[in-house]
Amino acid sequence: TQRGADLRYDLTITFEEAVFGCQKEIELPRWEACTTCRGSGAQPGTSTSRCSACQGTGEIRRVQQSIFGQFVNVSMCERCRGEGRVITTPCEKCRGQGRVRNNRRVVVNIPAGVDDGINVRVTGEGEVSARGGTPGNLYVILTVKPHQFFKRQGNDILYELPISFTQAALGDEVEVPTVDGKTTNLKIPAGTQSNRSFRLKGMGVPVVHSSARGDQHVIVKVVTPTSLTPEQKRLLEEFARLEREQSEQNDKNIFRNLFEKTKDVFQ
């Protein structure tokens, strides 16, 4: 008896469901064994009979002659489809097929750490073949919805953290969201530059079928203010003036040092 066909089902899950795993109940149409004849194809109370075409072997043997001599060609019996027995009284419900079309509810276990495009195999939940054959498998193809804040890179999670230029210059301690639904404190050192990355170890995506877990990378983005109060503008202008003076003094020191070194060479 031939094995039943495999089935494919496309399933969309959230970012969090992909990270932590979940159970999903799905409904799909498929061929199932007829409950009336239990997959035999014969009406209950009747029996099958031996195929007269192949004498119960399921094979047709034909002897052929060639220039090399005699040989036997073996093929599947078309009358009984290789089963060796034929149905005399077909089942009224399935009309002798041994299977019927039904909608089936299946619970799919999604393991933690799956990614977009991964397929999850559910053994034995495919279609049955005619006359009670072994069922095929169900393959659930996953599509993971993008997250509003988090991005995935392998088993790591990327999160962009916007901070002000004063936080970057002076340093600060901020709360950072994690995929676990909690927040964790992150210390930002003074002088932090935009695009600097901080690692939160073990706060990423679990490795499938493992206790290991990736990291979360917090990428700092320094935000430039688009509008300033008069007081903020005055303070920034004062800061810019001091910065220019410091830069000019540094340039003078560099020139003086260079001049002294050059003078020493030519003396």
Q: Give the per-residue pLDDT at 263.
A: 44
Question: Would the CATH topology of 1-41+88-146 be identical to that of 150-223?
Answer: yes
Closest of 147, 141, 145, 173 to residue 160, by C-alpha: 147
Q: What torsion, rounded to 10 degrees, do the Cα atoms 237, 240, 241, 242 define? A: 130
Per the model's pLDDT, the better-predicted residue between 237 and 137 turns out to be: 137
Residue 249 has pLDDT above 80, yes or no: no
Range 150-223 has CATH code 2.60.260.20: yes
Instruction: Give domain limits for the chain.
Output: 1-41+88-146, 48-85, 150-223, 231-267
Res 265 pLDDT > 80: no
Confidence of residue 212 (pLDDT cuts 50, 70, 90): very high
pLDDT of 149 reads 96
Which of these, 45, 49, 72, lies nearest to 61 by C-alpha position?
72
pLDDT at 134: 82
Residue-wise pLDDT for 12-26, tens only, equals 999 999 999 999 999
Residue 170: what pLDDT? Answer: 92
Residue 252 reports pLDDT greater than 70: no
Q: How many CA atoms lie within 13 A of 51 on its CB side?
A: 19
HSE value, Cβ hemisphere, 13 Å, CA-based, for 2: 10
Q: What is the mean pLDDT of the chain?
A: 88
Give 41 or 178, the one with higher predicted confidence: 178
Which has the closest alpha carbon to 140: 4, 8, 28?
8
Strands ordered across the beta sheet of 7-13: 7-13, 138-144, 119-122
Closest CA to 128 of 61, 188, 38: 38
* Contact (CB, 8 A) for 93 and 42: no
Nearest to 136 by CA among 25, 8, 41: 8
Structure tokens at 153: 């890179």
- What does CATH list as the number for 1-41+88-146? 2.60.260.20
Report whether pLDDT(257) > 80. Answer: no
pLDDT at 253 over 90: no
Q: Does residue 175 carry a pLDDT above 50?
A: yes
Q: Which of 77-86, 133-142, 173-182, 206-215 has the lowest mean pLDDT?
A: 77-86
Instruction: Identify the three-state secondary structure at position 101.
Output: strand
pLDDT of residue 227: 85
The vertex-20 CA angle with 15 and 25, nearest 5°, equals: 80
91-120 mean pLDDT: 93
What the block records as the tokens of 52 is: 């007269």
Q: What number is the average pLDDT over the span 147-154?
A: 96
